[in-house]
Amino acid sequence: MPRFDECLKFVLAQEGGTSEPAGDPDTAYGVTQAIFDAYLKMHGQPSRDVDTITKEEVRLVYRDLFWLPSRADKLPTPVDLVHFDLAVNSGMGTAGRMLQQALNMTPVDGVVGPRTIAAVQSADALLVAARYAKLRLNHYIVLGAVSSGRPKLAGWAHRLGYLLLAL
């Protein structure tokens, strides 16, 4: 999965190392304790502190819980990166809906199934990625308009700027 590894490199650069910001769950490399617990359970392993996560487990968490379920592996370059990064940053449903909006699809249900995949594969990938990025910026601005989102708006905007440079 060479494209996955390339996209993961970008995501990990944005997610950072280990952190415990006030009010946020314990996190390592962007993987929360809850996500790590779900990954371990999926593989029949007992729960353990996310701070003990290995680099290979980080890779597998992102592949098994974000890359493959978001269907980024079925999307053309650079849409795969824009979609994968948003699935990590805002969740699979938001990413699916925004991808469909970037494709001007109706209905917008957030399910990246055969119809969405066919639409993106037949479209101009760079144009879809640009529309997707614009939708992300609008999404971040709306989230930043509420008081709880204001402190994060600059970080979201920087992440999107780095994403555009990576395209």
Q: Which amino acid, one-letter code, is at 58? A: V
Residue 12: its pLDDT value, please? 95
Residue 18: its pLDDT value, please? 63
Residue 150: its pLDDT value, please? 79
> pTM for the complete prediction?
0.90
Contact 79, 125 (CB under 8 A): yes
pLDDT by residue (tens digit) across 19-62?
555 445 688 999 999 999 999 999 999 999 999 999 999 999 99
Residue 7: its pLDDT value, please? 97
Taking CA atoms, 47 is separated from 59, 62, 96, 126, 154, in Å, by 18, 17, 29, 41, 34
Contact 38, 86 (CB under 8 A): no
pLDDT band of 17, cuts 50, 70, 90: low
Cα(67)–Cα(81) distance, integer angstroms: 9
Half-sphere exposure of 148 (CA within 13 A, CB side): 3
Which domains are delineated in the chain? 1-70 (no CATH), 74-167 (1.20.141.10)
- What percentage of the chain carries pLDDT values higher than 70? 94
